[in-house]
Amino acid sequence: MQHPLDPLTVAEIEAGRAVLESAGRVTSTTRCAAVLPVEPSKEAVAAWLPGETVERRILFVALDTSSGRSAEAVVEVTTGTLESWTELTTDVAPYGQPPYLREEFELTEQIVRADPQWQAAMARRGLSPEFAFCAPLAPGFFGRDDEAGHRVIRSLTFLREDAHDSPWSHPVEGLIVHIDLTQRRVLRVEDEGNTPVPSSDGRFGTPAALTERVTLKPIAITQPEGPSYSVDGSAVTWENWSFRVGFNAREGLVLNQVAFDGRPVLYRASVPEMVVPYGDTSPTRFWISYFDAGEYLLGMNANPLMLGCDCLGVIHYFDGVIADGGGHAVTIPQAVCMHEEDYGVLWKHTHLDGTADSRRSRRLVISYFSTIGNYDYGFFWYLYLDGSIEFEAKATGVVFAGAGVPGSSSPHANEIAPGLFAPVHQHLFCARLDVSIDGDANSLAEIDVVRMPTGPDNPHGNAFTWTTTELTSELEAKRVANPAAARVWEITSGSRRNAVGKPTAYHLVPRASATLMAQPDSSVFDRATFATQQLWATPFSPAERFPAGDYPNGHAGGGGLPTWTAADRSIENTDIVLWHVFGPTHIPRPEDWPVMPVDYSGFTFRPYGFLDRNPALDLPSGMIHDDHCAPHGSHHEGHGH
């Protein structure tokens, strides 16, 4: 039975495209840069009853590749109606372009390879173009007349030993090709310097670059009675949790209607944007600041996941349905993985008589991976038995490096292999948390732990306390984390109180991380202003979905959160959305080469007075063994059954 918040289906996308075609909106040069669900209003979702007809709307972002013009089309697929067709003003400041098409990456390579200037640059350097890889890269925004308002892309060149070789270890430093995709021509070629191409071998994986070790013994994870969760379409229940799994081409994985003990916690949770700004001043990289959702589409680039590699245990998979450049439906098999994991001790106490009570923690994991060029990103949501939610981003893949003189030094890039220099950069994710703590009437506060001066209120000097600062408007809610003060942000319910008379609440607990390091007068600062704060809060608006605006590709800046919050709307006792920025600042190291071990970042969302007592008191004591925990002094080997 279909639910209003279910992901788009193959049949719906095909039906939507057919509506566009019958309305005369599809020509031989029409491509679909994005196909996304238009979610129904919260009121419509709340009023919907099982068995009722679900009105389903789809947003098609149409691009005419011959003219560069683009438009938004909203199709109601239930009735087969084209509800609206809105031309986008991509040639008017502050500009902005739809995301790139995959076929434009292939077009980029064709244009570069055919260009005489590029061919001459390769010849001047004595390099063979046979297996060269022309990487298609978002250009940022610098106001150049031949770029502003145009659909442009840049290309850097990497060498490969053969067609199957990983290119990232052999950058051709100082060779930059600027391309107008609509006109299908090279705007200019930069050819600076004569830095030798590094010879470092970047091969890894299968076939293995090294002989695989044989010392690791297998770990078997089994659930002989099956998993503890149940799945009905997109609806999942697990212990006290219930939620719906969503997926779309831009955000990837979405969690809807997350509830604990039947009480709402989050109406919607996703990571709708991330920016990857580079801190290098070289001509080859100063302009790099990728918006991996808005420019490339995270969900579009989701991986089909593999049992035993990406996910381990008893797995339930959800397919991802997206659309290709022609607007036709494509299924990504096993795009989202869900499984249970043991997570150590949840609570424990040894009593005065020497007996002990101990219960093991377990978490439900819902995850997907997206590959954007050289980097791979894992997006992991964890639900815990104590009512906590954790999000973790896993950054891995291959670092984006340039060439330099072996043994030299740079203030902006580390030498990670002979002649191979990887610039300092950031991966700044933005989570969008449409909170619903016991309903939509919520308020926000900041809590800091503070020292107290020795005196009448602290006669022995040992005391400390905490302060609570109410954040009642959007500008007040622009905040940064403060680990020294153990800073958290509290979301309270306006309709329910707990057993001690306080409003029920959850805490957003940030991890220590940097905000955007670029200067306020930089282009990336204007374009990624959302990354300059670790917390923003806005009153809910269905039109406010993406923190850098709807179309950050080729956008001059100011879109999204800085524009919305300038109105300084009230966020007190209302339906509010939190925007939390986090992520690693990466100073690459030799150990990151040739493939980078996972770099972890994220946050926790945990109950604070939402519950009247520990909700995991009733856990069984023998969740691993088929008997209870072995007593002190036993001689069990500890093998699970």
Q: Which residues, at least 6 apart from 58, have a Cβ–Cβ distance to it below 8 Å?
A: 8, 12, 13, 16, 35, 36, 37, 38, 74, 75, 77
Q: Which residues, at least 6 apart from 74, have a Cβ–Cβ distance to it below 8 Å?
A: 38, 57, 58, 59, 60, 82, 83, 84
SS3 223: coil
Within 10 angstroms of residue 547's Cβ, the number of other Cβ atoms is: 29
- Residue 448: active-site member: no
DSSP code for 55: P
Asked whether the CA dihedral 627, 632, 634, 638 is positive or negative, the reply is positive
DSSP code for 482: -
Query: Annotated catalytic residue: which of 6, 280, 292, 440?
Result: 292
Is-contact 229 314, C-beta < 8 A?
Answer: no
CA distance 186 to 55: 45
DSSP code for 13: H
- Tokens (6 digits) for 142: 């610098």
- Tokens (6 digits) for 362: 């377990």
CA distance 517 to 295: 21
CA distance 347 to 70: 56
Phi, psi at residue 519, to the nearest 5°?
-75, 155
- What is the CA 163 to chain-centroid distance, rounded? 31
The secondary structure of 265-283 as a DSSP string is EEEEEEEEEEEEEB---ST
Query: Annotated catalytic residue: which of 95, 375, 377, 384?
Result: 375
CA distance 42 to 38: 12
- Tokens (6 digits) for 584: 């690693």
CA distance 47 to 103: 42
Q: Which residues, at least 6 apart from 470, have a Cβ–Cβ distance to it below 8 Å?
A: 443, 444, 445, 572
The secondary structure of 52-96 as a DSSP string is SPPP-EEEEEEEETTT--EEEEEEETTTTEEEEEEE--TTSTTEE
- What one-letter code names the amino acid at 249? A
- Tokens (6 digits) for 445: 């506060």
Phi, psi at residue 167, to the nearest 5°?
-85, -15
Half-sphere exposure of 286 (CA within 13 A, CB side): 8
Phi, psi at residue 590, to the nearest 5°?
-55, -30
Nearest in space to 359 (alpha carbons), one of 579, 104, 592, 629: 629
Q: How far is CA 44 from CA 8, 13, 54, 246, 537, in A?
A: 18, 22, 10, 17, 24
Angle at 379 between CA 373 and CA 383, to 5 degrees: 175
Phi, psi at residue 124, to the nearest 5°?
-60, -35
- Residue 368: active-site member: no
Is-contact 304 318, C-beta < 8 A?
Answer: no
- Tokens (6 digits) for 290: 């990728």
Write out the catalytic residue numbers.
292, 375
